[in-house]
Structure 1
Amino acid sequence: MNQNNPPIISRRLSPNINKIVSQFPEEVQEFFLEMISAERSPQTIANYAYDFSLFFDFLASKNKTLYQIEPMIIKRFFRHIENGYERSVYVLIKRTDHRTGSQIEEWIERKHFRENSHSGKQRKRASLRSLFRFLVKNHILERDPMEEYEDATLRSRTKQKVPVFLTKDEALRLVQAVHTYHSKKRRNSWLEARDLAIILLLLNTGMRVSELINLNINSIQTDGSLYRVIIIGKGGKERMLKLNNKAVQSLQEYLEVRPTPTHLNHQNALFLNKNFGRISRKAISEIIKKYVREANLPPKASSISPHKLRHTLATLLLSNGENLRVVQEILGHSSIQTTQIYTHVINTEKDQALDRLEQMI
């Protein structure tokens, strides 16, 4: 592995993503610079980088260039990753040279297997669709091979899945699990206050994980006893949501014991990890899994992830008779069609209620 630093495509990209993007053709690198100019979120840009890395690795294995892409090549690519794939991630590690005692930085390539879910397939198609539209629009390619591929491909029949969510009782058990888990510890920890604030904030606002980890201290706005959180959503869209009393109390208790960040770049981060840097998506997922186990939730609920707490808020709001348009604004959906999926949940609950009635009359 080359120990030198990779070319910097943009200082707004993480070193890992910079390294991936630097291996793409220059024309594709321009696509990423356009996304940065359009202020796409770091997570969105990272997703594109991972998707393109798979595609261009496949092209290289077939000795094909960007200008030689045909619909059949795209078809073979999607068949190649149909049942899963290996994804490469580059990690910069530091080690000591035993001969000189000096510190050496080295890039390590780590591979891990990923399942190719239905949503993952859709995202990869959308990623390539955006790329080829950009290349045609900028006269780099004369025609769009992705468009030709999709015209010739049979549309797969998909069922719209009902979102998995927690009932009100299960949500309360998840919150209580934070206290029961830490009551077993011999010493108090600021992590209990942090985790409780995270769970209550997710349940109170339904914000996405990417929105939660990007919160800063000044994202919380106060007006007397009124607390609101400013959330920067997809496409840089901003929304402001009121916090309920339980979320406010947990947030106040966390801020009282929040450690001083050790990283200069993370001074303003609202939620910190164990090393006092900004918390990551993976850490949030691990936190939720830990308390789901502690709460001993039923099988359906045991698969709860941070995003499913978003489903929980939407379902509870609609079950309580709230307006669909209001729920759309709370969740930050650009289209009300996205919000309407939760009406299927309410209808399912109605069906189950009528089924139970059969046992009574």
Structure 2
Amino acid sequence: MATTDYPFSRKLSPSINRLVLGFPEDVQEFFLEMISADRSQQTISNYAYDFALFFDYLKEKGIALEEIRPITIKRFFRHIENGYERVIQIQLRREDPITGEVERKWIERKHYRENTYAGKQRKRASLRSLFRYLVKLGALDKDPMEEYEDASLRSRSKKRVPVFLTREEALRLIEAIATYHGKKKLRKSNWHEYRDRAMLLMLLNTGMRVSELVGLNLNNVQRDHNNVHIFVLGKGGKERVLKLNQTAESALSHYLQHRPIAKDSSDALFLNKNRTRLGRKGVNEALQKYVREAQLPPKSSNISPHKLRHTLATLLLSNGENLRVVQEILGHSSIQTTQIYTHVINSEKDEALDRLDQWT
């Protein structure tokens, strides 16, 4: 993997920089285009991980970029069909307590990943975008991905009902925060408890994406008399303003009162234990802790931050809210995306099935 004292882009994390620097120069140009187009860091990271998997396979087989054929892509997807190992490079930072000197060291961590239906679709989309760009750039004469998709069998479309929490399960989840921290023998005022309550309530009451949550800064919180609004930067750089209800606003106020001073003068709203910006992984780990404490049923135990977004959408539509309003709250570019939640709140279907009781 190529390394340099200067990053590929200061807008990307060090680990993603190292991945991108290992790609062919024409592929690096693709990432520069994405940065110029203000694509989110999460989107760019997803592309980098997908391409790293693909180019590692090409390297193993001794295939150059210009030698890629439809059969190459077909064999790649067969190679990862039953799961794959992802290698992630992480930079460890250690500060000498006496001299204050900072030592940085890169290590590799391997994670086994299941190749889910959604994962397959994302990898196809990633490669589709890359090869279209390379053809336009003149780096390739033909689009091997287009030829591969023309020749391959279409996957059967799968419509999955979103997983969400009921209102009662959501309340149990929030109550589990106090229960979890109350079990500690030395009961202290713990700022992590205030942070986690504010964090989960904001996810449940605004439906923001986890990437939007961890990207919030202190100045994204705006008070106007008795109202608190959050300015959220969503996909494609689209901004939307979301009002916090009283419960979420109260939890956020308590957190801000107990929030420690951040390192490096960071203005991140939510901090991790090192007092730097909290990441997606930190949010998910905190959530899983309280899911276990709440002892949610099997259907809901595999909950993720994104499924809290599903929960808000479902509850809003169940309350009779307008579909367009829900679309604006969630920041969906297409109302068709919002319509997937109508499948789980169609009470007419439930009533039709209930009427079968008259036969018995």
TM-score, L = length of structure 2: 0.93
Which residue number corresponds to residue 165 of structure 2?
Answer: 166
CA shift digits 1:82-131 (9 cap, x unpaired): 111111111223579xxxxx976432222221111111111111110111
Q: Distance between the aligned counterparts of 1:351 and 1:165, measured in 2?
A: 19
Task: Decide whether the 8 Å contact of 1:6 with 1:18 is kept in 2.
Answer: no
Q: Which amino acid aligns with 1:355?
A: L
Q: In structure 1, what is the Cα distance between the partners aligned to 2:357 and 2:271? A: 51
AA aligned to 1:237 is K
Q: SS at the partner of 1:227?
A: strand
User: After the TM superposition, which of the residue ranges 156-165 and 106-115 deviates more from structure 2?
Assistant: 106-115
Deviations 1:285-325 (A, max 9, x none): 11111111111111111111110000000000111111111
Q: Which residue of 1 aligns with 2:342?
A: 343
Residue 208 of structure 1 corresponds to 209
User: Greater shift after overlay, 105-114 or 145-154?
Assistant: 105-114
**Residues in 2 aligned to 1:176 and 1:104: alpha-carbon distance in whole angstroms:** 41
Q: Which residue of 2 aligns with 1:242?
A: 243
1:309-324 alignment, distance < 5 Å: 309-324=308-323
1-side partners of 2:175 and 2:357: how far apart?
A: 33
Matched residues in 2 for 1:162 and 1:263: separation?
43
- The 5 A counterparts of 1:159-238 are 159-185=158-184, 186-238=187-239
**Runs of 4+ that moved beyond 4 A:** 4-7
Distance in 2 (alpha carbons) for counterparts of 1:92 and 1:194:
26
SS at match of 2:198: helix
Alignment of 1:55-204 (within 5 A): 55-93=54-92, 105-185=104-184, 186-204=187-205
Query: Aligned equivalents of 2:139 and 2:173: distance in 1?
Result: 53
1:41-82 residue CA offsets vs partner (Å, 9 max, x unmatched): 111111111100111111111111110110010010011111
Query: Matched residues in 2 for 1:94 and 1:208: separation?
Result: 29
Contact 1:216 1:270 in 2 (8 A): yes
How many residues are aligned here? 353
Tell me, yes or no, if structure 1 residue 253 matches structure 2 residue 254: yes
Alpha-carbon distance between aligned partners in 2 of 1:123 and 1:356, rounded to the nearest angstrom: 39
SS in 2 for 1:340: helix
Q: Secondary structure at the match of 1:106?
A: strand
Superposed, 1:262-341 pairs within 5 Å as 262-264=263-265, 267-341=266-340
The residue type equivalent to 1:203 in the other structure is L
CA distance in 2, matches of 1:122, 1:11: 29
Instruction: Indicate the SS of the match to 1:140.
Output: coil
Secondary structure in 2 aligned to 1:93? Answer: strand
> What displacement does 1:359 show?
3.9
Distance in structure 2 (CA, Å) of the matches to 1:295 and 1:104? 40
Alpha-carbon distance change, 175 to 153 in structure 1, aligned in 2, over 3 angstroms? same
- 1:229 counterpart SS class: strand
What amino acid sits opposite 1:351 in the alignment? K
CA RMSD in angstroms, aligned pairs only: 2.0
SS at match of 2:106: strand
CA contact (8 A) 1:318 1:346 kept: yes
Instruction: Provide closer, same or farther for how the CA distance between residues 227 and 287 of structure 1 changes in structure 2, counting only shifts above 3 A.
Output: same
Percent identity, aligned pairs only?
A: 63
Q: Which runs of 5+ in 1 are unaligned?
A: 97-101
Separation in structure 2 between the aligned mates of residue 95 and residue 324 of structure 1, nearest angstrom: 50
Question: For 1:119 and 1:307, how far apart are their aligned partners in 2?
Answer: 14
> What's the counterpart of residue 98 of structure 2?
none
Q: 1:350 offset after TM fit, Å? A: 4.2
Amino acid at match of 2:321: E
Name the SS for the 1:241 alignment partner: strand
Q: Which amino acid aligns with 2:222?
A: Q
Q: 3-state DSSP class of the match of 1:254?
A: helix
In 2: Cα distance, 1:94 partner to 1:180 partner: 34
Gaps of 5+ in 2: 96-100
- State the distance in 2 between where 1:272 and 1:103 align: 21
For the residues of structure 1 that align with 2:92 and 2:243, how far apart are their CA atoms?
42
Counterpart CA distance in 2 for 1:62 and 1:114 is 21
Which residue is 1:99 aligned to?
A: none
Q: Cα deviation per residue 1:205-235 (whole Å; 9 max; x = unaligned)?
A: 0000000000011111111001110110011
